Amino acid sequence: MHILVKLFAQYREGRFKAEQRDYPEEATAQAIINELNLESVSPLGVLMVNGRHVDVSYLLKEGDEIALFPKVGGG
């Protein structure tokens, strides 16, 4: 299935900003985090799919947009 993967802040370094990528049916958000080795850079801060916060066990569906952020803040 086709998933739009969007990376932010430190996760972009040496990777990409946004890419359409193919994953097997029923892949989880965690599988993408693992595949991209994101937590070697910085712990996961925020995970959103289609603009909603979800858990890493979320089962992805065709056409989903997943956004991954390390721990960030401001104000």
* Size of residue set near another protein by CB under 8 A: 22
28 lines the binding site for another protein (CB under 8 A): no
Quote the DSSP letter at residue 34. Answer: H
Stretch that binds another protein, among 20-28, 31-39, 63-71 (CB under 8 A): 63-71
CB of 69 to another protein, least distance (A): 6
Stretch that binds another protein, among 19-27, 32-40, 56-64, 66-74 (CB under 8 A): 66-74
CA neighbours closer than 13 Å in the CB half-sphere of residue 59: 2
Stretch that binds another protein, among 23-31, 32-40, 48-56 (CB under 8 A): 48-56
For the four alpha carbons of 8, 51, 39 and 72, in that order, the dihedral sign comes to: positive
Which residue, among 34, 41, 35, 48, has the nearest Cα to 6 in the 3D structure?
A: 48
